[in-house]
Structure 1
Amino acid sequence: MRQGQSIKHALQKQTDVMKDEYRVRLSASIDVSRHLLHQGLPFRGHDETEDSTNKGNFLELLKYTAGQNEIVRKVVLKNAPKNNQMTSPPVQKDIVHCFAEEVTKSVIQEIGNDVFGLLVDESADVSDKEQMAVVFRFVDKYGIVKERFVGISHVKETSSLSLKIAIDSLFAKHGLSLKKVKGQGYDGASNMKGEFNGLRSLILKESSSVYYVHCFAHQLQLVVVAVAKKHFEVGDFFDMVSLLLNVVGASCKRKDMLRESYRKKIEEGISNGEIKTGTGLNQELSLQRPTNTRWGSHYRTLLRLVDLFSCIIEVLEYIQDEGVDTTKRRQAYGLLKYFHTFDFAFYLQLTLHILGHTDSLSKALQRRDQDILNAISLVASTKRQLQKLSDDG
């Protein structure tokens, strides 16, 4: 209502020189933000006070830009008006938000009026807030399959209804319709794929042609985990491997001992002519900790266990004989005793053989250029190999 206090009126009162300075100042902040976003770097620093030697990436990069460009230097930081430096956290967030809006708009324009698939997953961030990530999968005008990340929405709970409301809100914001969605893909959680009340069913009620596809690679991992857990001997084997990682991998000193022992083994093998040398060969190895939902990581852990076995035995013997912690010494004794049993050798070779087949399939299923006919063929081939192992192995 007060025309004299409007932004338009305030800009009209400025001289052309002041307007040009403002544009240079804003452009400098935008260029710095573009670079940091492109590199995935944080903006803020722990200490942005005047006496700080490192004020964070945004201010430091702006300072560097000013040092390289005389026109920018004259109008930014100390040379800018105190109330118009274009460096405050709210301004930084506004610029980032504008970039996000433009990128999302370009993705939606790329889809056009065509159909697309909806990929959704939820996870907690570092602040323990549930976040829902949304990805669109579509075929562009050149016939290339693309996947584009379009946003993250905070959800107070991960029930299927809450996720559906968040998706509706995102679609309404960008003028999209569920009628254009022809495919949906989630993980195996009940709130996602539930037959009666899951997100899958809620979307199908609005559009009956939205076919659901469970991630093939994730299905494979779930099958391997479920089968392995049914066998107590296999479960006991992986428990001992987990204990090994805690005993050997929980200390920097023991990790260094393992690396040093492996280095000496490699040097001895090279000097004897038993090990070849070349680009990419004989890299430093360490034990990798597997994750419960990715059994491909268990396969890599077992491969490292085989490669480092003699070195691991040396470290365990040192812990057993020279260790200070009584608990660790007792655990090292138990591991050494188990590692010299037939059961250990048998289950190590068995799981390596089985996980070798499933790991190859898992990698193939996760390829970006995979087509469903080839995927079905690979699944059938792997099943035949495992059945042959079961019958003749």
Structure 2
Amino acid sequence: MALQRKDQDILNAMSLVESTKGELQKLRDNGWDSLMNKVSSFCEKHNAEMLVMEDVFVDPRKPRRKTNITNLHHYKVNCFYTILDLQLQEFNDRFTEVNTDLLICMASLSPLDSFCEFDKEKLVKLVKFYPDDFSYGETLCFEQHLDIYIDNVRRDERFKNLKSLGDLSCLMVKTQKHLAHPLVYRLLKMVLTLPVATASVERCFSAMKLVKTTTRNRIGDQFLSDCLVCYIEKELLDSVTNEKVIERFQMLNERRVVL
């Protein structure tokens, strides 16, 4: 739920991921005994029969077939360990070391609180992830370029109340600073493509499945885009009244009857 928040910052998200992975690993290594104590307490409280862990495991789907394993092995290894290993593997697949480094380094470009997260070493490291987009010479001079950039934007009052990388990118273009700091702006454009797998973007694709159904398979791109904007940006559309919509349609064309 924390990762799906729209205002979740990258550093806290990565910290949550690492903490969750650590807790899952701790549960796998030392959590079996505590789990069995809870199961035993539950069975005693509700007068439920508890399996003897040393007995041979009987598969309820094939009761006559010998399994040659104990209940302890089945529930501890085949169930408990397997489920936790799947969860840990899913975390490792989704948040690899490279992906984690990219997201952490990306946070150093954040304009929040007058660029308080700015870290020159992390940004230089981030540039090295894009060898095809930055030449060897540009990579060498990038560190010095960053000193000029951060001093310049911190002195500019227009950059003090920015909330996101998107706002920073737009303001750099508006103030022509994308021409003064071309390397930083190039890196910023690349970084803006990283959050394409965030929960908010995934919700957009989910909304597309709801809007473009089998009965609307011939819907045009522009109409689809308009429908998706209305569906996704619900918070903004709450401020639009029915009267404004009717007035807008009334002004689009002359009509015999006032809507």
TM range (shorter): under 0.3
More helix by share: 2
More strand by share: 1
Higher RCO (C-alpha under 8 Å, 6+ residues apart) = 2
